[in-house]
């Protein structure tokens, strides 16, 4: 294989793994890691969500930017919202927050 072909193959593979992390996967990840408090619909109406007073994404999407939410998801907030910066890569957190925000639209 020529050098050029290898470069193209690598670039193609990078884009296919990125596409592999499409919304469907973030949905599964969100439902697995976040929905216990935030609810699968993002409204925080789960038993745990009600107890911890988790806010509805329909409200917070109006007051918090995506960047602020990424920061909270990475570093945590208060004593109940853990930071997930240790568990996920930055682009995964971004994908989770994007999926979460999509629930509020
Ligand atoms: C143990 C329950 C719990 C889990 C699990 C949880 N959260 Fe939260 N989350 C909270 C609470 C409580 C708040 C509100 C913190 C505050 O405003 O003081 C919050 C706030 C947030 C916010 C800021 C916007 C808002 O609603 O105030 C984002 C963004 C967020 N969580 C994302 C996530 C993501 C992404 C996950 C999964 C990776 C997750 N959370 C998992 C409890 C949880």
Residue 64 CA: nearest ligand 1 atom is 24
Query: What is the Å distance from ligand 1's center to 15 Cα?
Result: 30
Reading the block at residue 13, the tokens are 């593979």
By alpha-carbon position, which residue is closest to atom 23 of ligand 1?
A: 69
**Sequence-separated (6 or more) residues with CB below 8 Å from residue 84:** 33, 73, 74, 76, 93, 96
Distance between CA atoms of residues 84 and 21, nearest Å:
18
pLDDT at 100 over 90: yes
pLDDT at 95 over 70: yes
What is the structure's pLDDT at 24?
A: 72
**Which of 37, 57, 68 is the best mutation target for the ligand 1 pocket, counting ligand atoms within 8 Å of the beta carbon and taking the most?**
37
Residue 81, ligand 1, Cβ within 6 A: yes
Whose CA is closest to 99, among 32, 22, 37? Answer: 22
pLDDT at 14 over 60: no
Residue 72, ligand 1, Cβ within 6 A: yes
Q: What is the pLDDT of residues 23-71, one digit of tens each?
A: 679 999 999 999 999 999 999 999 999 999 999 999 999 999 999 999 9
What is the structure's pLDDT at 8?
A: 56
Tokens 């109940």 — which residue? 80
The upper half-sphere exposure of residue 42, i.e. CA atoms within 13 Å in the direction of its Cβ, equals: 17
Tokens 């990424």 — which residue? 70
Polymer length of the chain: 105
Query: What is the Å distance from ligand 1's center to 66 Cα?
Result: 13
Q: What is the pLDDT of residues 75-91, one digit of tens each?
A: 999 999 999 999 999 99
What is the structure's pLDDT at 4?
A: 65
């Amino acid at each position: 294989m020529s050098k050029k072909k290898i470069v193209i193959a690598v670039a193609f593979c990078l884009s296919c793994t990125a596409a592999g992390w499409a919304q469907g996967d973030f949905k599964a990840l969100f439902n697995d890691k976040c929905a216990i408090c935030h609810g699968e619909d993002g409204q925080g109406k789960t038993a745990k969500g009600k107890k911890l007073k988790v806010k509805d994404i329909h409200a917070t999407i109006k007051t918090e930017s995506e960047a602020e939410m990424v920061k909270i998801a990475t570093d945590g907030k208060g004593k109940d919202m853990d930071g997930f910066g240790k568990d996920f890569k930055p682009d995964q957190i971004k994908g989770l927050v994007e999926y979460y925000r999509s629930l509020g639209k």
